[in-house]
Structure 1
């Protein structure tokens, strides 16, 4: 699990492609400290497992599903990437619960400055947008952000100078694609409210608004 607080901007050293997978080599300094084989690192918000280590960074395998769901396959040597180690049990929870399992890819439609902040409007696929709520949380390229507004086709966030300077988002603009990780709580709530076909619901069926009202909710 991650918190969406980026620790370091690293760089891609190489992306070695297989038939349907890839091996990613990442240059890292701060994130490299204390890493062990098998540890998890979020690369642009994508949870990857460390498969080898060297003094200047680490490598990780990227499977076909991950390449399909994220922008990792678009990276080239020299590309900057947001990095975060998995949250320590005794660490501070500075962002929000970030799973590192990318839901989909969005596209930045517009960006503009508002005094000391920068606004970004991001077009998102319906499968992601259904979990995005105003004043809720979303991770963009692994960055924990607060949703400022939501429309039928996307959402907007306002980014403070520190975040823009400390992550790759500050260097992005209209047309750039970003990895999106929606708030995991909404996904579980939806699943619990709509059990899959054949599940034992005690004869109640799906929980509906009428059912909740009837029981005082």
Structure 2
């Protein structure tokens, strides 16, 4: 379980394609300082399992299902990524409950700069729109954010200087894909009420592998 509070802006060092999967090597000195084989690290909001670590870097295997349902398949050496370790039991929940199971990808539509912030409009798949509400929580590339406006096929978020400087959302441009995870509580409520659920999720390699 994560909180959506990005700890480090990391970098993809290498991507090795393995047919129906890929092996990623990523640099993140902070998130790897206490990481070991089998631990989880969220990469752009996708929960990945650490295979090994060395010299501030870690490797993770990414299955075809995750590559298909998230934007990780578009990453290459040099790409910047948001990194977060799982929340420690008893730790502060600074964002909201984030599973690292991406529900789908959205697309940055436009950026409107303000004096000290930016409003970013993001298009999202129609099946996910019903889970997004004004002032509700959503995870974009692993960042816990509050929805400003919720439309039928889009939503907007307001990014403060810290988020712009310390996450990939500061450099995403119109047309760029972003990983989306809607509030899991909304999906559970929908399920309990007997309504159709979301269409799968990507992440938690230990589950989908």
Alpha-carbon distance between aligned partners in 1 of 2:37 and 2:125, rounded to the nearest angstrom:
35
Alpha-carbon distance between aligned partners in 1 of 2:41 and 2:79, rounded to the nearest angstrom:
17
Higher relative contact order (CA 8 A, sep 6+): 2
2:15 aligned with 1:15 = yes
Deviates more, 1:50-59 or 1:3-12: 50-59
Aligned pairs (5 A) from 1:17-166: 17-166=17-166
Alpha-carbon distance between aligned partners in 1 of 2:183 and 2:115, rounded to the nearest angstrom:
28
**What secondary structure is seen at the aligned counterpart in 2 of 1:90?**
coil
Alpha-carbon distance between aligned partners in 2 of 1:195 and 1:171, rounded to the nearest angstrom:
37
CA contact (8 A) 2:30 2:56 kept: no
Deviations 1:61-105 (A, max 9, x none): 101110011010110101000000011002111000111000001
In structure 2, relative to structure 1, the CA distance for the partners of 1:148 and 1:19 (3 Å cut) is same
Report the count of equivalent residues: 196
**What secondary structure is seen at the aligned counterpart in 2 of 1:165?**
helix
Deviations 1:27-57 (A, max 9, x none): 1111111111111100000000001111221
Q: When the two structures are superposed, what TM-score results if normalisation uses the length of structure 1?
A: 0.88
Deviations 1:144-167 (A, max 9, x none): 000000111110000111111010
1:114, CA displacement in angstroms? 1.9
Alpha-carbon distance between aligned partners in 1 of 2:98 and 2:130, rounded to the nearest angstrom:
17
Deviations 1:112-169 (A, max 9, x none): 1122110100000012212111100001000000000011111000011111101010
Alpha-carbon distance between aligned partners in 2 of 1:72 and 1:63, rounded to the nearest angstrom:
10
Runs of 4+ in 1 over 2 A off after TM superposition: none
Deviations 1:192-214 (A, max 9, x none): 11078xxxxxxxxxxxxxxxxxx
CA contact (8 A) 2:108 2:177 kept: yes
Alpha-carbon distance between aligned partners in 1 of 2:33 and 2:69, rounded to the nearest angstrom:
29
Alpha-carbon distance between aligned partners in 1 of 2:67 and 2:175, rounded to the nearest angstrom:
19
CA contact (8 A) 2:139 2:145 kept: yes
Alpha-carbon distance between aligned partners in 1 of 2:185 and 2:113, rounded to the nearest angstrom:
31
In structure 2, relative to structure 1, the CA distance for the partners of 1:124 and 1:195 (3 Å cut) is closer
Alpha-carbon distance between aligned partners in 1 of 2:195 and 2:120, rounded to the nearest angstrom:
35
Structure number with bigger Rg: 1
